[in-house]
Structures are given as C-alpha cells and as structure tokens.
A and B are shown apart, each in its own frame.
Chain A
Amino acid sequence: MNDWILTLITFVPTAGALLLMFLPRNDRVLKWSALIISIIAFIFSLHLPAHWSSGAHGFQFAVDAQWIKSPNIHYHMAVDGISVWLVLLTTFLTPFCVLISWKSIHGATKEFFVLMLVLETAMIGVFVSLDLFLFYVFWEGALIPMALIIGMYGHERRVYAAVKFFLYTMVASVFMLASIIWLYVHTGSFDYSIIQNAIQNHSISGFGNAAELLFFGFFIAFAVKVPLFPFHTWLPDAHVEAPTAGSVLLAGVLLKMGVYGLLRFNVTLFPDQAHEHAWWINTLAIIGIIYGALVALVQPNMKKLVAYSSVSHLGFCVLGIFTFTQAGTDGAVYQMLNHGVSTGALFMLLGMLYERRHTYEIKEYGGLASPMPVYSTLFLMITLSSVGLPLFNGFVGEFLVLSGAFSAKALYGILGTTGVIWSAGYLLWLYQRTFFGQVTQPVNASLHDADGRERVSLIPMVAMALIMGVASPLWIRMIDPAVEHSLRPSNVISAENATHEGDGDSLARAFLNSTRTARPEAAASVPDITRK
C-alpha cells in the first residue's frame, strides 16, 4: 500500500476524469461524480498523515521505478513533511471547488469537471515528484488546465487573462527547463536525490560556474509563480477573470507550487547561492508584503483586492524561507497551508456574492450584514483568519515567519511585521464597506443568505482555519523535521532511507507529545557523505 499510495492519490482524479468523459451530459450525474471522485482522492490522501513515520526525517511513501531508459527518467515519487501537507491541501480544496462550481458553471460542465480533475492530478504530481523531469511535466501540466479554466469559464476579459497567465508562467518555466537539462547533462540523472548528492560532493564538472545561472533558472520560474514582486501582475488579471473554483485553486495551490519550488530547489539544491542572494530576495518579499497590502487597500474590485492580498501573504512565505531559520521556514510552510485555506475560502465567499449580483465592485454592496447574517459571520471569521488573529491559523504562520525573520535580521522582522497593520486595514475596510451600514442598493436588500450547499462548503473551511490556529502541532510536528532537513542540505536525503513503516497514532501523539527527537548533529558537519 505504501508504495502505491502516492500513485493512487495522484491518478485517481485523472481516472475519474476519464470516467467523466464517458458519462452522459447530464449535469446532475457529472456534478455528483466529480464530487465523489475528488472526495475519494481526499480520503486516499488521508492515508499519508495517518501512516506517517514520525521518527524519519526524509522522504516517505517512496516509489522509484525506471520509466524511460534514455533519457534516464524515473518514476520517482515521495513526500516529506512539507510536501505531504501540500498534497493534502490540494485534495482538501478540490472537493470544495467542485461543490461551489455546481451552480456557477453554465455550459460545457463536463469539460469543466474533467479539467478540474486533471488539474488536481497535475498539482499533486508537482508536490510528489522527485524526478525533475516528472516534476516538470506535472508543472507544465498544471498550467494547461488552469489556463483553459480561466479562458473558457472566466469573465469578460478571460482570454486576455488566460493568455497572459499562460505565456507569463510558461516563459518563466523555460528557464527552469534549461536548468533541469543542464543538470541532467552533467549528472546523467533527473533524480532529485542524485543531483543533490552530486552537488554536495562537488562531483559535477563546471558546477561552480553554472550554479549561479542554474539558481536563476529555477528562481525565475518559481518567482513568477509565487508571484514575487515585481512578477505579480499576471495574478490580479487571472484572479479577476477566473471562475471561482479557478481562483480558489490558483490561490490555494498553484501559487504554493512556486513557494514549494523555491524551498525544494533553490534553497536545498543551491544553498550557497540562496544565501548569497537572500538579501535582495527578502527585499522583494518585503516589498511584496507592504506593496501588495497597500495596493489591495485601494482596489475598488473585491476580487482584485484579495488577489493583491495574496501577493502580500505570499511575501511572508518567501521571507520565511529565505531567512533560513527553523521558525521562519516552518512558518512559511504553515503559512502556505493557511493561505490556501483562508484565501481559498475568501474566493469562495466572493464567488457566492458574484452568483447573486454578478459584480465584484465593492461599491455595489454595503449593509449586507442585514440580509445575509450567516454569510457575513462566516465572511468575518475568514477575514479574521486572513488578518492573522490569534487562535486562527494565519497567526501561527505569520508569527513564526516574522520571529524567524527578526532573528535573521531585525530589519526584516520590523518591516515584515508592519504587514499586521496593513492587513487589518484593507480587510476590515473591505468588510466595513461590504457588510456594515444601511443597505445602499435596493437590490441587495433581498439577497438570500448562505444556503445549505454554501454552508457545507464554507463551514469546514472556517473549522479548518480554527483548528489550524489552535492545534498547530498537528501539522508542524511533521513539517519541523523536514524543514530542519532542508535547511541543512548536507544531511543526505535518499529514497533508500525513507521508511515505509506505518505509524497510525502519530496524529494523537503529535497533539499531546511535545518532545521531539534531537537532530543528529553529526551529519550536519560532514560534507562528504556519499550516496549508498
């Protein structure tokens, strides 16, 4: 089971998509089928934390098989404490995306759900691939269905937004592809662990000269995806035009692919370059935090506002990673999950308003708390989670990132921490203008409150935001060792070392047991560990 679970999780959605293709064009059947398939994928993914081997630092649930002899491509999948949660984030969000699309997608519903499920496979694939070629296939594979979802099901300027999204990220990815090919040519492998070992053992000829360019090749692709300032301008367009489910997955998962890439490749494979360039990357991240928030503050369009807030929030993630501190990186990983839940939920909420009024303009609303009390309460809770109020998820991530940033360099911490003021500013102002006061537009007075389906999609998100805020060790306990591992790349990660043993009660223990096994100090200082 443990060998095949990742394959299963990754390809269940695609199998479902195939099935969907042969189903009749009956919306009811399609909707339910897509929902059930995505829920099945989620249930399978629960296997991962449930059987997590808490003692092991490296990758787990590994499968590594020769796929193509020449070029030497492996089907190598595994997860560590970081990627496992991103997989779960993906499988957690997708059913809600299907659910909220039930009523908002008109026409070509079959294609929509097929695209959605294919996209899910691609996103999961990105997080589980340890073969760089495989990784790249999934990486680009995620681009296509997302561009189609925006382009086919979006709003007025959907084609512009889809093309911009596609070209922008595609062009950036080409640089990564060049880096990957260079590495393959010089190591004869696409395998992440082999390449990492080769780099650490200085066994790649010409690496010293190329490392800089390789770093930039990966960096450009990921920075655009994050998006890091000033590569962010595709994001507001893509979000505003995307259908709700597209926005949720775009913000919830696709952006995380960028942050994940930065951590997995830039920081772990090229630690020297990462340290050398950290100062300006962090500067861009901090600019992103403040700039994104200030621009969000003045947006007249609420979806654009949330899009810019993503620029700000993702700035925290990048900042946390490039401080190379335990707390900062833990927080960054956690913040990825938080942002997926909170901003995902925010986009869902905005989509529900759009379905009612067909506009995202803030001035079209006002006083909605009167006709829509339940909806506005849920909106408030998600807002608070995004603002980073303690006991909500956002706080834990932000706090760890900022304390890490502060300990790395006080100025980073100080500037980053201003984010807590800005986020309260733009989100509470949005909330005030949308929900408080008298109903200003007569048409809004009769808007119906959140219905059953909407509550089913929103309440789990709110609950998740709260649980993640109150019981963070459930997650961080698995993240922490993996981060520690990534920050000290001389600890050789090899799939052979990955354990396959199940550990059923790890969740309960994570919650109650605060003690952690000490890191083996010896490995950190030994640079020449050879791969077995």
Chain B
Amino acid sequence: MNPSPNFNLWLIPILPLIGSAINGIFGKRFARSLVATVALVFSGAAFVYALWVTAQFSSLPQASIPHIERLFVWIQAGNFSVDYGFYLDQLSLVMLLVVTGVGFVIHIYSVGYMAEEGGYYRFFSYLNLFLFFMLTLVLAHSYLLMFVGWEGVGLASYLLIGFFFLKQSAAQAGKKAFITNRVGDFAFLLGMFLLIRQFGTLDYDKVFRGIAPMPVEHSLGFLTITALLMMFGACGKSAQIPLYVWLPDAMEGPTPVSALIHAATMVTAGVYMIARSNSLFMHAPIAMGVVAVIGALTAIFAASIGLVQNDIKRVLAYSTVSQLGYMFLACGVAAFSAGIFHLMTHAFFKALLFLAAGSVIHGLGGEQDMRHMGGLRKLIPWTFWTMTVATFAISGFPPLSGFFSKDEILWKAFSDAQHGSWILWLVGLITAGMTSFYMFRLWFMTFFGERRQPVHDAHQEPTGAVHAPGTAPADVGHQSGVAHSAAAPGHSAHGGGHVHESPWIMLGPLVVLAIGAFVMGWVGIPEALGGHNNFDQFLSPVFHTSSEPARALENFPAEPQKTENAGEEKGLELALAGTSVGVAVLGFLLAWQFYYRRPELPQRIAASMSGAYRTLINKYWVDEAYYATLINPIVDGSRTVLWRGVDVGVIDAMVNGAGTTSKEASGVTRRMQSGSIRSYAGWVALGAAAVVAFMIWAGTR
C-alpha cells in the first residue's frame, strides 16, 4: 500500500462551494427544480465522497493518522506561514460524516420546505456555502484555517438568519449573531496570537507536539490563558454563557437553517474546537474547570428558560443551548469522546426536532405558537411519530440515542477523579429532568388535547417568518406571508381541515433522522450496560487521555483490586443511569400532569409564582441588561462624547480655530478666501507651473 495515500480531501469542501457558486451566479435564471438539483448533487457528492474517505480511512495504519494533506501557502510573513492543509483523524472523520450526512438530509428537506418561498436559489446557494465553510472548519489542519471556516459559517449563518431580510427582526438577529460571534472570535484571535508567540505556528501537529512536553499548569500561565481564550471563542460559536444570546434570536431564519446550522452542526464547532485542543486543555486544569462550570451553568440556565417559552422554535433553541452546555460539561471533565458522542446523537435528534417542528409549522401555515396548536397527533401522523422518537431520545429514555450519550456525560461528570464532581453531576441531572419536562410539554401542547384557537391579542407573535419572501418584489411578499399565517388557524377552526401533512420530500428526511436518533446511541453502549463503547475506543487515539474504556478506574490508584473495584464501578454506573432515567420519567409525568390531564394548572402556578415566571419568560432580562450596560452606553457615548464632543467640539474646533486665526493674520489667504475656488486654484496651478518650469530649466542648463 502506498504509505501516504492522497485522498484529495480538498474536494470535500470544494464540492459544495461549486454548487454555491453555480446557484449564486446563475441560479436566478434557473428553474426551481434545477436549483434544487444543483444543491443536492453537490452536497450529496460531498457526502458520498466523505463515505469513500471513511472507507479508505479504515485501511490506514494507525501510524499515519492524523493524515495530513497540504496544498499551498495561504499566508507567509517572515518565519510564520500557514498553508491550505487538511487534517484527517478519527475526530474530524466523525465530524465530517455528521456534517455531510445530516447536511445532505436537511438539504433534501429544504427542497420541500422552501418550495413556495422567494429567493429559492439564494437560499440553496447560502446553504451550500455553509457546508463549504463547515467542512473547512472540521478538516482544517491549523487553527487559522479552522478560523476561516469558523468565521465563514458565521457569515453563512448571518446570511441565512437574515434570509427573510424584509423583516427587520430577521436582519437584526443576523447582525446580532455575527457581532456576538465576533466577540468570541476576538478571544480566539488572541489565543492564536499567544500560540504564534510561543510556537511560531498554528498547525495542529506542531502546536500539539509543542504542548506535549510542557508540564501541567496549575496557575494562570500561558497554557491556561490560551485555553481560556480559546474557550471564550468557543462560547461565542457554541452559544454558551455569556455569549449565548444570539442563538434564540437566530430562530428568525428558516427552520431548515435552524436545524442544520443552529442545532446540528455550526453551534457544535466550539465543542469540536475544545475537543480538538484537548492536549492544550488537559495541560490547563483551571481552564478545564471553567469549561465544565460554564457548560453546567449554561445547561441548567437555558433549560430553565425553555420551561416556559411558547414559541415552538424558541423552546428548541433554548434546548440546543442547554444541550451544548452538556457537551461543554463533558469536555470540562475530560470526557471529550462523550462530548463528541453527544454532539453526534444531538445532531440527529435535534435536527429531527427542528425539522419536525418545521413540518408542524408548515402544516399550520406558519403558526409557531404552541398555545395555538394541540391535537395534531392524528392530523400529521408522520410528523408526530418522528417527533416522538426525537422527544424520547433527547429526554434520555433508553434505548434511544440521547440516553447513552447523556448518560455517558453524567457518569463522567460524577466519576472523573480529577475533573469531575458530584455537583456537576447533580446540575446535569436536574437539567435532564427539566429537559424531559419541557420537551414533553412541547409534545403534549402540540400533539395532544384539543386544537386551540389563536387568541387575537398582543401575545400573538408575528409568524410571517415562514412565508415571508426572499427576493420577491417587496410589495407582494411580506403581507401575503402574514395573511397566510393569520388565515391558517381560522381555517382549521373546522376540525383542522387545512392542517396538512408535509410532502414526502420533507417526511423522508424525518424518517431517516428518526432512525438515526433511535439507533445512533448504540455505537457507544458502555460496558456497564453490556456494550463495548466502540465510539469511545474509536476516538481514543485522538484523546490520549481517555484511551482506556475503564479510565475512571485508573483514577483510584489507592485501590489495588482492580477487578472488584470495576465491579463496584459498574454497579455505581448502573445506579446513576437508573437515576437519570427516573428523572426523565419524572419530567414526563409532570408534563403529562400539567399539559395533558390538567392544562389549567400551569397558568395557576405561573400566577402564584409570578416573580419566577416573569423572570423566566423574560429570559432573566439578559438581553435588556446587555443593552443597558454595554450597547447603549457604547452607542450613546460614541455619539455624544466621542463624535459631537471630542471630534467636532474639541479637535476640529481647534483646527478650524487655528485656521481662522492664521487667515486673519494673512492678507493673501484672506483674498483667497474671498475669491472663488477657481481663482484660488488658478493661482496655485500657476505657482506650481512656475516651479516646475524653473526646475526643468535648471535641469537642462
């Protein structure tokens, strides 16, 4: 076998880029079917190619992993150089498959979902562009190239959140996402500068080689600060405290976008980055602790907001923030493979949840408020059943995928001797209960009970999001979108006559994802449950630290009898798994009680605990606080102090003052001021001509 085969990895990101360019440049003249074909062919080709690479990868000898392919230089200054190069190891392979696989499925769904929207070619051009950047991100072989993908997916996200740009709220949300991410990118950049200063390079292999011999750092030194900066960057992309605020607003984008970018792939980039940098983080336990705490806090914080939201997509958005918190928690307790495991299962069930929610919204003609839903179980059965799988999966019911990945995280949070703690576990457990509750709340409110009438009051949020147009002429689009969504509930007053199941091009992807959400967890069944945790073992070369399946065991060096201890460990693990299932069931029962048996209860409780309720429904007023303490002072201060005050009032006034004084002192300039500019110009030109003439004359003398 060729010792270093060439997979032409660059093709994987380039394929969707070609698709994006074709649709972006020519798509306007294409028929819709052709636009869809182009988008599907190029995203599908990337997926197929990724599968081929996977097959090849399995025959690579372990010694040649990571497999690196370099193309040519991108930036070179002095001794610093970055090239276009791709890095394939187990971790990037998993990411590659998730991104292309889920991405392709969501592309298919979008063909149906977006069928009636304006700007069809624009949408698919952006969607393909997103794949290009996301694949660059996961395949990059240096932090700087990762940063290309990192910012690029931010751009695609900006474009797609603002896809319905006629809506100010959508445009606003897109901008908010981009700028919030830039705050994180600021830290990411600083982290990279530190790495450059230390190692003179940003290539993974060289950086990791440089870190490996360094001692573990227990103070705020180079490694810890670098790790913390990287983590802050990840907080931006993966919507963690304090930078999560953009993600809920990002739901202004079309639902497939929410599924692909804001649930399955882009937002996991931060988790991927931390996992990729595991050797850095393992050398910086303080940073690890911060990652774990931020993850746990974000998980429970976002879940608490999710408890009371009424917009179906917002519930899912907060749920995403919360689940990303789990992944952070996993990374923070050195359970990187568990984090990636959850990333993968989450990609399936959360994408499914969004797409199914999209199918509900689609079926209701744009309605997103769960208070106006109900009883949809029989009307849209395929959507219902696939959503059911996803709901049980995310709530952690065995044997669905979410159970295994979440349980792995909770177990590691509890058991890792160095990084874990029962407090982290407890927070994770409570979050699991809340997750189960709000998901079943969503499930019951949407599919069970009676169809509820929309209340024509201020509570009704504008739902034009789905049917607002893209580039369609301004006059038609938006209004008709609103009319459509307002009309739909009216029609459905007669037993929901106009509620319709989605077409097969949308249901097919739901079914595929449902199967994934069901079985994906089986690749990582822990030994305590009779599995082999293949997933963990597959990734173990990347995360050297967790190479042993019974790694937790090593952390009890005081115990000499490993086998007996392993038995106890197993028992403990089973007990904890049982606890988390119990909590999930509890969440289910509470939701059942509140939203199925006695639907009047939640209002009474909300009334009796109005303070807490208002805090949650207003999302802890975090947005308001940011505006009051950061954004408004910056804008107002810039306007009144810097611009009108300093710039116009002081600096320019002094300049003009000096000018006026000298003008008054000088007869020549006074005459100049009184005359027209042309005469002034004439004098200057004449003088210049005289000087030039003299010099030429002097030169030829």
Say whether B494 faces chain A, with CB atoms less than 8 Å apart.
no
Do residues B698 and A295 form an inter-chain contact, with CB atoms below 8 A?
A: no
Do residues B171 and A421 form an inter-chain contact, with CB atoms below 8 A?
A: no
CA distance A298 to B641 in the complex (A): 11
Do residues A437 and B76 form an inter-chain contact, with CB atoms below 8 A?
A: no
CB of A427, distance to nearest CB on chain B (Å)? 10
One of B192-200, B263-271, B554-562 at the interface: B192-200
Task: Specify which chain A residues have a CB less than 8 angstroms from the CB of B75 in the assembled complex.
Answer: 396, 399-400, 472-473, 476
Q: Residue-by-residue, is B433-464 near A (CB-CB < 8 Å gives 1, otherwise 0)?
A: 00000000000000000000000000000000
Do residues B635 and A437 form an inter-chain contact, with CB atoms below 8 A?
A: no
Contact A424 to B474, CB < 8 A, known contacts A402-B193, A437-B166, A437-B167: no
> For chain A residues 358-402, which have a beta carbon within 8 Å of chain B?
367, 369-371, 373, 384, 389-391, 395-396, 399-400, 402
Task: Specify which chain A residues have a CB less than 8 angstroms from the CB of B79 in the assembled complex.
Answer: 326
Do residues A480 and B681 form an inter-chain contact, with CB atoms below 8 A?
A: no
Say whether B172 faces chain A, with CB atoms less than 8 Å apart.
yes
Task: Specify which chain A residues have a CB less than 8 angstroms from the CB of B60 in the assembled complex.
Answer: none
Do residues B148 and A391 form an inter-chain contact, with CB atoms below 8 A?
A: yes
Contact A294 to B80, CB < 8 A, known contacts A168-B655, A514-B73: no
Do residues A406 and B78 form an inter-chain contact, with CB atoms below 8 A?
A: no
Which residue of B76, B148, B478, B681 contacts A473 across the interface (Cβ within 8 Å)? B76
Say whether A219 faces chain B, with CB atoms less than 8 Å apart.
no
Do residues B171 and A294 form an inter-chain contact, with CB atoms below 8 A?
A: no
Do residues B72 and A406 form an inter-chain contact, with CB atoms below 8 A?
A: no
Task: Specify which chain B residues have a CB less than 8 angstroms from the CB of A12 in the assembled complex.
Answer: none
One of B174-182, B297-305, B392-400 at the interface: B174-182
The residue of chain B having its C-beta at the shortest distance from the C-beta of A433 within the complex is B171
Say whether A527 faces chain B, with CB atoms less than 8 Å apart.
no
One of A17-25, A159-167, A272-280, A341-349 at the interface: A159-167
Say whether A407 faces chain B, with CB atoms less than 8 Å apart.
yes
Do residues B76 and A480 form an inter-chain contact, with CB atoms below 8 A?
A: yes
One of A183-191, A254-262, A410-418 at the interface: A410-418
CB of B45, distance to nearest CB on chain A (Å)? 22
The residue of chain A having its C-beta at the shortest distance from the C-beta of B83 within the complex is A514
Q: Residue-by-residue, is A37-80 near B (CB-CB < 8 Å gives 1, otherwise 0)?
A: 00000000000000000000000000000011100010100000
CA distance A417 to B72 in the complex (A): 27
Contact A299 to B643, CB < 8 A, known contacts A327-B80, A407-B197, A437-B171: yes
Task: Specify which chain B residues have a CB less than 8 angstroms from the CB of A439 in the assembled complex.
Answer: 474
Contact A152 to B179, CB < 8 A, known contacts A294-B642, A437-B165: no
CA distance A434 to B178 in the complex (A): 17
CA distance A400 to B651 in the complex (A): 31
Do residues B74 and A162 form an inter-chain contact, with CB atoms below 8 A?
A: no
Contact A373 to B474, CB < 8 A, known contacts A233-B655, A403-B192, A417-B186: no
Do residues A390 and B152 form an inter-chain contact, with CB atoms below 8 A?
A: yes
Which residue of B74, B78, B639, B685 contacts A484 across the interface (Cβ within 8 Å)? B78
Say whether A99 faces chain B, with CB atoms less than 8 Å apart.
no
CA distance A370 to B193 in the complex (A): 41
Do residues A164 and B659 form an inter-chain contact, with CB atoms below 8 A?
A: yes
Task: Specify which chain A residues have a CB less than 8 angstroms from the CB of B83 in the assembled complex.
Answer: 514
Say whether A225 faces chain B, with CB atoms less than 8 Å apart.
no
Say whether A137 faces chain B, with CB atoms less than 8 Å apart.
yes
Say whether A445 faces chain B, with CB atoms less than 8 Å apart.
yes
Q: Residue-by-residue, is B645-685 near A (CB-CB < 8 Å gives 1, otherwise 0)?
A: 01100011001100100000000000011000110110011
What is the interface of chain A mostly: helix, strand, loop, or mixed? helix
Task: Specify which chain A residues have a CB less than 8 angstroms from the CB of B652 in the assembled complex.
Answer: 233
Task: Specify which chain B residues have a CB less than 8 angstroms from the CB of A251 in the assembled complex.
Answer: none
Which residue of A391, A438, A512 contacts B72 across the interface (Cβ within 8 Å)? A512
Do residues A163 and B673 form an inter-chain contact, with CB atoms below 8 A?
A: yes
CA distance A432 to B170 in the complex (A): 10
One of A140-148, A198-206, A492-500 at the interface: A140-148
Say whether A228 faces chain B, with CB atoms less than 8 Å apart.
no
Task: Specify which chain B residues have a CB less than 8 angstroms from the CB of A140 in the assembled complex.
Answer: 688
> For chain B residues 145-196, which have a beta carbon within 8 Å of chain A?
147-148, 151-152, 155, 158, 162, 165-168, 170-172, 174-175, 178-179, 182-183, 185-186, 189-190, 192-194, 196
Contact A167 to B677, CB < 8 A, known contacts A367-B474, A420-B189: no
B interface residues, tally (CB under 8 Å):
74
Task: Specify which chain B residues have a CB less than 8 angstroms from the CB of A424 in the assembled complex.
Answer: 178-179, 182
The residue of chain B having its C-beta at the shortest distance from the C-beta of A333 within the complex is B77
Do residues A147 and B638 form an inter-chain contact, with CB atoms below 8 A?
A: no
The residue of chain B having its C-beta at the shortest distance from the C-beta of A291 within the complex is B642
Most buried by A among B83, B148, B172, B647: B647
Do residues B474 and A445 form an inter-chain contact, with CB atoms below 8 A?
A: yes
Task: Specify which chain A residues have a CB less than 8 angstroms from the CB of B612 in the assembled complex.
Answer: none
CA distance A132 to B457 in the complex (A): 76
CA distance A331 to B190 in the complex (A): 16
Say whether B605 faces chain A, with CB atoms less than 8 Å apart.
no
Task: Specify which chain A residues have a CB less than 8 angstroms from the CB of B167 in the assembled complex.
Answer: 437
Say whether A477 faces chain B, with CB atoms less than 8 Å apart.
yes
Task: Specify which chain B residues have a CB less than 8 angstroms from the CB of A73 in the assembled complex.
Answer: 695, 699
Do residues A67 and B77 form an inter-chain contact, with CB atoms below 8 A?
A: no
CA distance A435 to B168 in the complex (A): 10
Which residue of B182, B647, B684, B701 contacts A295 across the interface (Cβ within 8 Å)? B647
In the complex, number of A-B residue pairs with CB atoms less than 8 Å apart: 191
Which residue of B74, B175, B186, B193 contacts A418 across the interface (Cβ within 8 Å)? B186
Which residue of B190, B673, B691 contacts A417 across the interface (Cβ within 8 Å)? B190
> For chain A residues 279-301, which have a beta carbon within 8 Å of chain B?
291, 294-295, 297-299
The residue of chain B having its C-beta at the shortest distance from the C-beta of A330 within the complex is B77
Say whether B473 faces chain A, with CB atoms less than 8 Å apart.
yes
CA distance A402 to B681 in the complex (A): 42
> For chain A residues 451-479, which have a beta carbon within 8 Å of chain B?
470-473, 476-477
CA distance A233 to B647 in the complex (A): 7
CA distance A231 to B295 in the complex (A): 47
Say whether B534 faces chain A, with CB atoms less than 8 Å apart.
no
Say whether A511 faces chain B, with CB atoms less than 8 Å apart.
yes
CB of B69, distance to nearest CB on chain A (Å)? 15
Say whether B4 faces chain A, with CB atoms less than 8 Å apart.
no
The residue of chain B having its C-beta at the shortest distance from the C-beta of A516 within the complex is B76
Do residues A421 and B677 form an inter-chain contact, with CB atoms below 8 A?
A: no
Task: Specify which chain B residues have a CB less than 8 angstroms from the CB of A148 in the assembled complex.
Answer: 681, 684-685
Do residues B171 and A429 form an inter-chain contact, with CB atoms below 8 A?
A: no
Do residues A436 and B165 form an inter-chain contact, with CB atoms below 8 A?
A: yes
CB of B444, distance to nearest CB on chain A (Å)? 37
Say whether B426 faces chain A, with CB atoms less than 8 Å apart.
no
Q: Residue-by-residue, is B462-487 near A (CB-CB < 8 Å gives 1, otherwise 0)?
A: 00000000010110001000000000
CA distance A470 to B152 in the complex (A): 13
CA distance A144 to B682 in the complex (A): 10
> For chain A residues 295-313, which have a beta carbon within 8 Å of chain B?
295, 297-299
CB of A388, distance to nearest CB on chain B (Å)? 9
Say whether A502 faces chain B, with CB atoms less than 8 Å apart.
no
Say whether B81 faces chain A, with CB atoms less than 8 Å apart.
yes
CB of A441, distance to nearest CB on chain B (Å)? 12
CB of B242, distance to nearest CB on chain A (Å)? 14
CB of B297, distance to nearest CB on chain A (Å)? 24
CA distance A109 to B677 in the complex (A): 17
Task: Specify which chain A residues have a CB less than 8 angstroms from the CB of B646 in the assembled complex.
Answer: 291
The residue of chain A having its C-beta at the shortest distance from the C-beta of B225 within the complex is A410
27 chain-A/chain-B pairs, Cβ below 8 angstroms: A67-B699, A68-B695, A137-B691, A148-B681, A148-B684, A233-B655, A294-B638, A295-B643, A298-B642, A298-B643, A367-B474, A369-B471, A370-B473, A390-B148, A399-B144, A400-B75, A406-B196, A413-B190, A420-B182, A420-B185, A424-B182, A435-B165, A436-B162, A473-B75, A480-B78, A511-B72, A514-B81
Which A-B residue pairs are the 10 nearest by beta carbons? Answer: A326-B78, A436-B171, A406-B193, A294-B638, A298-B639, A330-B77, A390-B148, A233-B652, A151-B677, A370-B474
Known: A148-B684, A436-B170, A477-B76. 19 other contacts (CB 8 A): A68-B695, A137-B692, A148-B681, A168-B655, A294-B638, A327-B77, A367-B166, A369-B165, A370-B166, A389-B155, A402-B193, A406-B193, A406-B196, A417-B186, A420-B189, A428-B175, A472-B75, A473-B73, A514-B72
